[in-house]
């Protein structure tokens, strides 16, 4: 018969054993069992894939078609120069300059004014604006002005506004620009107010910073930045619908203008950044030779940026830092964009008419009239779809021809170009999940409300 002390020790050991076993089970669940559960879920999904279902097959094809189209039409001409511009912002535009115009020390009206009209200069889409937004946010821009810049970049594209007025009507074009400018400021102010505690802490740290003198004259930095921005704008200059206007003549000269801007960039590399003259000259000669052997503008464009990458990688100081920052933005954004584009294509199809898993006729049937639901649905659908620069106009035109109301059309124009599923994934990596959810919600709600007001007036 066991003594009382023996019974107590046996009980303590049993309890200790049970707690240890429970602890081990929790540790296993947090590591191996968790992986096993993911594997089981993935197995079940693959096991029941409706591969013989025609719509599923079309959605898969649309997913890869959209990715292929995006890679061919958008990555090289849009994102590559955008990444280099973001690198310029991070390295050559000092934190003091960003804080001066967009930070706590800046005049609020000036910060929001500059941010809200930036899209009229940069003809970019919801994905191309991301490295630029990430760059100014990283350098200390306030959340409000940075968000205003993020929205206005793709939303106030001057070419898109002109084509909207010409193709969809003057009143819709005017409503789009008024809504876009107002949106960027209002959403920026609301975001700044909601997260005012974090912004106050950020502002306090900025106010404590001493005034820093610029190491390079402003005109030199501006020239270097504008040559790259000009290359981005004119290389992506879209073909207008009518050949009898000024914009069509610009389109015909787009690669001539881009070439002169490239020469300006080469001069900036030599005389402003003080990079190796021989390397820059060799890179310029290779670019010119590649243009003389082909009629495809993409070849010299690629040659030029490959040469620039090699020159910067071989340099020291600012040039090398510029390349590192450019590569950093590329690594952060490209994988998220790839996943987002594949998902967007699978769910919603392609701009060229490819069908996603969600039938197009459902969308057409849901956005007729001017109801709250129609405007909200158009806003949500636009927010998750991907629109390259100017592609939203023919899409909306086709939807309006199929019965889409004017209110939902405006809601789609205000939410669509500024947001997309790939865009949201990258924004989340820059400002976090909570701020991204608030930003996306504000865009969707305000676009829907604007659509309802416009639809009731017209």
Q: What is the pLDDT of residue 190?
A: 93
Q: What is the pLDDT of residue 442?
A: 93
Q: What is the pLDDT of residue 430?
A: 84
Q: What is the pLDDT of residue 94?
A: 63
Q: Can you tell me the mean pLDDT for 107-135?
A: 71
- Report the alpha-carbon distance of residue 84 to residue 76 in Å, rounded: 12
Q: What is the band of 438 on the pLDDT scale with cuts at 50, 70, 90?
A: very high
Residue % of the chain over a pLDDT of 90: 21
- Report the alpha-carbon distance of residue 337 to residue 429 in Å, rounded: 12
Q: What is the band of 281 on the pLDDT scale with cuts at 50, 70, 90?
A: very high
Higher-scoring residue by pLDDT: 241, 218: 218
Q: What does the radius of gyration of the chain's CA atoms come to, in whole angstroms?
A: 26
Between 181-190, 267-276, 307-316, the lowest mean confidence (pLDDT) is in 181-190
Q: Is residue 177 part of a domain?
A: yes
Q: Can you tell me the mean pLDDT for 261-274?
A: 94
Residue 243 structure tokens = 């050949």
Q: What is the band of 312 on the pLDDT scale with cuts at 50, 70, 90?
A: very high
In this predicted model, what pLDDT tens digit does every residue of 2-49 receive, in sequence order?
455 555 554 455 544 556 666 666 666 666 777 788 889 989 988 888
Q: What is the band of 274 on the pLDDT scale with cuts at 50, 70, 90?
A: very high
Q: Can you tell me the mean pLDDT for 132-152?
A: 80
Higher-scoring residue by pLDDT: 326, 201: 326
Q: Can you tell me the mean pLDDT for 340-356?
A: 75
HSE-CB for 104 with a 13 A CA cutoff: 14
Nearest to 399 by CA among 381, 417, 420: 381
Q: Is residue 226 part of a domain?
A: yes
CB 370, CB 378: distance < 8 Å: no
Nearest to 179 by CA among 156, 153, 208: 156
Q: What is the separation, in whole angstroms, between the first and last Cα of the chain?
A: 95
CB 148, CB 117: distance < 8 Å: no
Q: What is the pLDDT of residue 112?
A: 81
Q: Is residue 52 part of a domain?
A: no
Residue-number span of the structural domain to which 175 is assigned: 58-275+315-341
Q: Count of CB atoms within 10 A of residue 280's CB?
A: 21
Element (H, E) at 30: none
Q: Which of 235-249, 288-302, 379-393 has the highest mean pLDDT?
A: 288-302
Q: Count of CB atoms within 10 A of residue 181's CB?
A: 20
Q: Is residue 351 part of a domain?
A: no
Q: Can you give 77-103 as a three-state secondary structure string?
A: HHHHHHHHHHHHHHHCCCHHHHHHHHC
Q: What angle do CA 281, 75, 111 make, to 5 degrees?
A: 90
Q: Is residue 161 part of a domain?
A: yes
Measured in degrees and rounded to the nearest 5, phi and psi for residue 368 equal: -80, 155
Q: Can you tell me the mean pLDDT for 402-427?
A: 85
Nearest to 176 by CA among 441, 416, 423, 419: 416
Residue 257 structure tokens = 């203008």
Between 192-196, 373-377, 391-395, the lowest mean confidence (pLDDT) is in 391-395
Higher-scoring residue by pLDDT: 295, 281: 281
74 bridge partner residues: none
Residue 443 structure tokens = 């865009």
Higher-scoring residue by pLDDT: 56, 22: 56
pLDDT higher than 70, residue 215: no
Higher-scoring residue by pLDDT: 237, 260: 260
State the chain's mean pLDDT as an integer.
80
Q: Can you tell me the mean pLDDT for 176-194?
A: 88
Report DSSP state, residue 368: B
Q: What is the band of 452 on the pLDDT scale with cuts at 50, 70, 90?
A: very high
Residue % of the chain over a pLDDT of 70: 79
Q: Can you tell me the mean pLDDT for 75-81?
A: 83
pLDDT higher than 70, residue 267: yes
- Report the alpha-carbon distance of residue 303 to residue 288 in Å, rounded: 9
Q: Can you tell me the mean pLDDT for 196-206?
A: 71
- Report the alpha-carbon distance of residue 78 to residue 149 in Å, rounded: 18
List alpha helices for 51-195, DSSP H. Answer: 54-70, 80-91, 95-102, 108-116, 129-138, 143-155, 158-163, 170-194
CB 364, CB 399: distance < 8 Å: yes
Q: What is the pLDDT of residue 269?
A: 94
Q: Can you tell me the mean pLDDT for 50-72?
A: 84
Structural domains of the chain, count? 1
Q: Is residue 213 part of a domain?
A: yes
Q: Is residue 457 part of a domain?
A: no
Q: Is residue 307 part of a domain?
A: no
């Amino acid at each position: 018969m066991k003594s009382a002390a023996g019974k107590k020790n046996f009980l303590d050991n049993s309890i200790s054993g049970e707690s240890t076993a429970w602890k081990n089970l929790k540790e296993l669940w947090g590591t191996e069992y968790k992986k096993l559960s993911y594997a089981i879920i993935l197995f079940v999904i693959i096991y029941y894939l409706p591969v013989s279902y025609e719509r599923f097959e079309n959605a898969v094809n649309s997913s890869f078609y959209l990715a292929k189209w995006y890679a061919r039409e958008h990555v090289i001409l849009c994102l590559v120069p955008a990444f280099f511009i973001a690198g310029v912002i991070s390295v050559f535009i000092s934190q003091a300059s960003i804080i001066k115009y967009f930070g706590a020390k800046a005049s609020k009206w000036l910060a929001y004014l500059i941010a809200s009209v930036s899209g009229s200069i940069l003809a970019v889409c919801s994905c191309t604006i991301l490295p630029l937004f990430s760059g100014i946010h990283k350098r200390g821009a306030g959340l409000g002005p940075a968000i205003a810049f993020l929205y206005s970049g793709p939303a106030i594209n001057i070419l898109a506004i002109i084509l909207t007025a010409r193709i969809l009507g003057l009143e819709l074009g005017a409503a789009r620009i008024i809504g876009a400018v107002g949106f960027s400021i209002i959403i920026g102010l609301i975001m700044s107010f909601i997260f005012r505690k974090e912004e106050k802490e950020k502002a306090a740290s900025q106010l404590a910073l001493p005034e820093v003198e610029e190491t390079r004259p402003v005109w030199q930095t501006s020239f270097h930045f504008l040559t790259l921005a000009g290359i981005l704008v004119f290389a992506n200059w879209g073909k207008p619908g009518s050949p009898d206007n000024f914009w069509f003549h610009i389109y015909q000269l787009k690669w001539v203008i881009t070439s002169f801007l490239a020469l300006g960039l080469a001069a900036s590399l030599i005389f402003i950044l003080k990079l190796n003259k021989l390397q820059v000259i060799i890179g310029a000669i290779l670019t010119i030779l590649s243009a003389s052997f082909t009629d495809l503008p993409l070849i010299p464009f690629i040659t030029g940026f490959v040469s620039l990458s090699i020159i910067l990688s071989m340099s020291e100081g600012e040039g090398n830092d510029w390349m590192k920052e450019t590569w950093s933005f590329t690594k952060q954004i490209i994988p998220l964009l790839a996943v987002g584009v594949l998902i967007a294509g699978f769910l919603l199809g392609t701009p060229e008419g490819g069908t996603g898993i969600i039938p197009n006729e459902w969308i057409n049937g849901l956005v007729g009239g001017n109801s709250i639901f129609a405007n909200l649905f158009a806003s949500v659908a636009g927010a998750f779809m991907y629109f390259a620069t100017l592609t939203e106009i023919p899409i909306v035109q086709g939807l309006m021809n199929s019965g889409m109301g004017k209110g939902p059309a405006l809601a789609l124009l205000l939410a669509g170009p500024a947001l997309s599923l790939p865009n949201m994934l990258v924004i989340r990596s820059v400002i976090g999940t909570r701020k991204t959810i608030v930003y996306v919600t504000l865009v969707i709600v305000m676009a829907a409300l604007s659509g309802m007001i416009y639809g009731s007036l017209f």
